[in-house]
Amino acid sequence: MPNRNRIRATDWLIPVMAGSLAFALPAHAQSGPNTTSLQHTVVLSDLESPWDMAFLDDGTMFFTEKCKGLSVLMPSGDLNALLGMSESEGYASTADDLFCEGQAGMMGVAVDPDFAENRRIYVYSTSNMSDPHTNRLMRLVVNDDFSDVSDRTDIVDDVPYKMEASDHPFGGPGAHNGGRVRFDADGALWLTTGDNHNEEVPQSPTMMGSKVLRMDTDGNAHAENTPPEGFDPRTYTYGHRNVQGIAFHPETGTPITAEHGPWHSDEITVLQNGGNAGWDPRDNMAGRGDCPDGYCGYMPNQAEGMNRFERASFMPMTDFETYPDAMPPIWDNNGWSQGTSSAAFLEGEQWGDWDGTMAVGIMGIGFGGTPIGQRIDVIELSDDGMEVVDVTEMTLPMEAGRFRSLVLGPDGSLYAAVDEGTIHKLTPGG
Amino acid sequence: MTAIIVLGLGAPALAADGVAGEALYQDVCRNCHGPKAQGMASFPKLSDKDADYVAMRLEQYRAGETVGPNTALMAPHAQDLTDVEIADLASYVTTAFD
């Protein structure tokens, strides 16, 4: 059959650097087969778009499904459906305000570091409780036998949601919500959000899309956040497009994000407190004229493939010309956008040479000559965690899929959820 | 030689080749719509649709019409499809996973 994802020769040309680019990232060849053999186990299958997982030390695994709700897999193998969304059946509790639409729905989940004492977990979901609707970060209490949750407290209720369709790729309601929820080693709670295809959100000081939030477990701003004056104090960084991956360097604790690019340049970024990620898709600025529905995010030719470097020079993922102090990405996926959506550090001697590397999940997008690229990349960082040294594509012991979530389990294995409906366990060693 | 079957829907439809449809689908379409056409993320389920509906949509994408928010993703894949391939795909995704 014909190759429907042909890569034109022009896509491989070294770009003439536009004036807006202050630097060029080195291109890393993605190496061939690695030397680490992985054992593979299917943890759960036949799920509906599993989005995220969170573990207790004994292996208890909470997980979300985007249009169904929150469940928990017990070490015994018992599966308990805890909190269902509207129209979900078979759950111990139901929250009728929680709904899914397009990319929106129930997303990230995290376990309180003090779970043994307070039984708290945190779940990020789209809700119609307010109008316009919002994405909310809920705090829930799990009962003693893990059969139900209670005491819902919406500690964040104001992450914007895209209510109406717009003239863009993926332009339906519910676009770009971010969605990852994580705790760092110090016990701070982090939430990543997205731009809703709303050109005003990324650089807005008060709209909480396109941000990385750092908070306490009541949803209050972390005391050491240093956003610019006038910004919501929960802001750790701003000016993002759609962050769905965040992980913390095991040695330094530094937050590192993995972010979806706009038909070009997925980015991995070492975050700086108060930093601007440099995404600003407004029209009639930065050399751009009018754009569809005011949002230039996929321009200059949003419906058709074109050279990714030309696209990047017109609508940069990180606009250094407008924002010279923007946080520079340490990796741009060789200029491709392929659905980079999750990140987790591999830790432990069992990972051999990969101990301390960062695994990144890539879902794959086949558009305009882009290689689909479903894979897990293993990214080796410099000792200080500030630069990419090498990138290796993980040789998978199972079929690749849309890798939505990567989480290191308490057993040291890497758990990977794919949109196809499976949670895989990858264990190093033959 | 592909036989012509009249479905009473105006245009005659082509008899579908399930094997060819599977090969096409599992090579490209599955990456977004899922290995069982179950739909994933923001990409719609296909296994519950009628073959005529799927064929109509593919023909619209092929013709360059804008049909919903994922047109930009679908159009490049549809533009090279032949009538036979559309019929094969529509049949496969709507019958293989019953």
Note whether A345 and A357 are within 8 A (CB).
yes
CA B5 to chain centre: 18
Query: Which member of A169, A404, A421 has the closest CB to residue B73?
Result: A169
**Interface contacts A/B by beta carbons within 8 Å:** 70
pTM attached to this predicted model: 0.90
Residue-level pLDDT, tens digit, chain A, 430 residues: 333 333 333 333 333 333 334 445 666 544 444 555 899 999 999 999 999 999 999 999 999 999 999 999 999 999 999 999 999 999 999 999 999 999 999 999 999 999 999 999 999 999 999 999 999 999 999 999 999 999 999 999 999 999 999 999 989 999 999 999 999 999 999 999 999 999 999 999 999 999 999 999 999 999 999 999 999 999 999 999 999 999 999 999 999 999 999 999 999 999 999 999 999 999 999 999 999 999 999 999 998 889 999 999 999 999 999 999 999 999 999 999 999 999 999 999 999 999 999 999 999 987 878 889 999 999 999 999 999 999 999 999 999 999 999 999 999 999 999 999 999 999 998 6
Distance from CA of A349 to the nearest CA of B (A): 34
Cβ-based contacts of A419 with chain B (< 8 Å): 34, 40-41
The CA distance from B66 to the nearest CA of chain A, in Å, is: 10
CA distance A342 to A204: 25
Which helix (H) or strand (E) is A322 found in, with range? none
**What is d(CA A160, CA A209) in angstroms, rounded to the nearest whole number?**
6
Residues 6+ apart with CB under 8 A from A130: A157
Cβ of A5 within 8 Å of Cβ of B71? The answer is no
Is residue A238 within 8 Å of A277, Cβ to Cβ?
yes
- Closest-approach residue (CA) in chain B for A51: B41
Cβ distance A331 to A366 under 8 Å?
no
Residue of A nearest to B37 (CA): A420
Confirm if B13 and B55 have CB atoms less than 8 A apart. yes
Two structure tokens written together for A22: 């202050």
DSSP β-ladder status, A79-85 and A93-95: parallel
C-alpha angle B41-A318-A336 in degrees, rounded to nearest 5: 50
Find chain B residues with C-beta within 8 A of A196's C-beta: none
CB contact under 8 A, A368 and B76: yes
Q: Can you give the C-alpha Rg of chain A in angstroms?
A: 20
If interface means Cβ-Cβ distance under 8 Å, which residues of chain A face chain B? 1-2, 4-5, 49, 66, 102-103, 165, 168-172, 174-175, 298, 302-305, 363-368, 372, 374, 402, 404, 419-421
d(CA A18, CA A261): 18
| Cβ-contact A262, A303 below 8 angstroms | no
Q: In angstroms, rounded to a whole number, what is the distance separating the alpha carbons of residues A187 and A36?
A: 32
Of the candidates A1, A175, A302, the beta carbon closest to that of B24 is on A1
Q: From the list B28, B34, B71, which residue is nearest A4 (CB)?
A: B28
Question: In sequence order, what are the residues at sequence separation of 6 or more whose Cβ sits closer than 8 angstroms to the Cβ of residue B79?
Answer: B61, B62, B64
A170/B34 CB distance under 8 A: no
Chain B residues touching residue A168 (CB < 8 angstroms): 69
Q: Give the E-state strand segments of A106-160 in sequence order.
A: 106-111, 120-127, 134-142, 149-160
Q: Which of B42, B43, B46, B79 to mutate to test the interface with A (most CBs of A within 10 A)?
A: B42
